Amino acid sequence: MWYLLFVIGLAASTAGLDRKETRMKYIATNQELYLEKLEKELHELEDEFEHLSEDVDDLSIKHLKARVHNLEEEHEHGCKKDEVSCGGDVPQCISKLFFCDGHVDCKNGNDEHDDHCSEAPAHVGSSYTGIATWKSCEALRPHHAVVTITASLRREFFSAAVYVRGILSFEEETKQHAVRTYPLRGFYNFGQRQLLLGPDRGTTPIYAVKCDFNLDDDDNADCYIVNPASREVCAHFQATRY
């Protein structure tokens, strides 16, 4: 009899222990489920957030600022013809001949700043291309035009410009890929961030090229194919580097 009671008591106590454990598990499972629910809600929120338009990339902002700046300069006649703005908070204009010559001329030192003195546009192999739209000189449909730098030289004693050679080529006709090329020579000017190329020595003066790196980076330029003497614009192309 006592023995039986003992067995029942033991069974009851183990059953009680089991129940306690099950309860604990039950609570833990619920907590996990609750966490999962929170996670799901968070994902939904994230999904919703991702559907909103993304932040604007830095390059677009840079370009936009440059375009506004170009319009302001144009409107306010900021600097004289051969002068360039130092930028920064206090406006100052200095000669295009003083940029990146190793001598600080701007009060804020911007004329010797790395941003302004990047040699990239004059690097050998730099190639700028875009669709050229002709408005005179040639009766061509809009086709690709390419300006490639083939040689460059920067003199230590006068480093405000890099003397370069280059090639202008443009498609005459897309079906047969007829391409015309013109050897050019000229220079890249750090102050104006302008690439000026005229006909190479001993060649017939037919075309010259003027590229303005006016979007505040080295990869985009506003290029014109012009008459070398009068600088009358023959064609225009928005060039990108590749």
For the bound state, the minimum distance from the C-beta of residue 161 to other proteins, rounded and expressed in Å, comes to 4
**Residue 198 binds to other proteins (criterion: CB under 8 A):** yes
Closer CB to other proteins, 106 or 143, in the complex: 106
For the bound state, the minimum distance from the C-beta of residue 238 to other proteins, rounded and expressed in Å, comes to 22
Q: Are 199 and 206 in contact (CB under 8 A)?
A: yes
For the bound state, the minimum distance from the C-beta of residue 160 to other proteins, rounded and expressed in Å, comes to 6
**How many residues are given for the chain?**
242
| Phi-psi map region of 26: left, alpha, beta (phi>0 left; psi -120 to 50 alpha) | alpha
**Residue 152 binds to other proteins (criterion: CB under 8 A):** no
# of chain residues touching other proteins (CB under 8 A): 26
Per-residue binding string, other proteins, 211-240, x by CB under 8 A, is: -----------------xx-x---------
Residue 50 amino acid letter: E
Q: What stretches of the chain show up as alpha helix (H) in DSSP?
A: 2-50, 58-76
Residue 11 amino acid letter: A
Applying CB under 8 A, among 49, 114, 156, 204 the residue interacting with other proteins is 156
Closer CB to other proteins, 128 or 187, in the complex: 187
**Residue 187 binds to other proteins (criterion: CB under 8 A):** yes
| Phi-psi map region of 4: left, alpha, beta (phi>0 left; psi -120 to 50 alpha) | alpha
Helix H or strand E segment including 177 = none
Q: Is 144 exposed, middle or buried (0-12, 13-18, 19+ CB in 10 A)?
A: middle
Please state the separation of Cα 99 from the chain's center in Å: 22
Q: Are 218 and 241 in contact (CB under 8 A)?
A: yes
**Residue 80 binds to other proteins (criterion: CB under 8 A):** yes
Per-residue binding string, other proteins, 100-139, x by CB under 8 A, is: -x-x------------------------------------
* DSSP assignment letter at 53: P
**Residue 166 binds to other proteins (criterion: CB under 8 A):** no
**Residue 161 binds to other proteins (criterion: CB under 8 A):** yes
Given the rule CB under 8 A, which residues bind other proteins? 80, 82-83, 94-98, 101, 103, 155-158, 160-161, 163, 187, 189, 196, 198, 201, 208, 228-229, 231
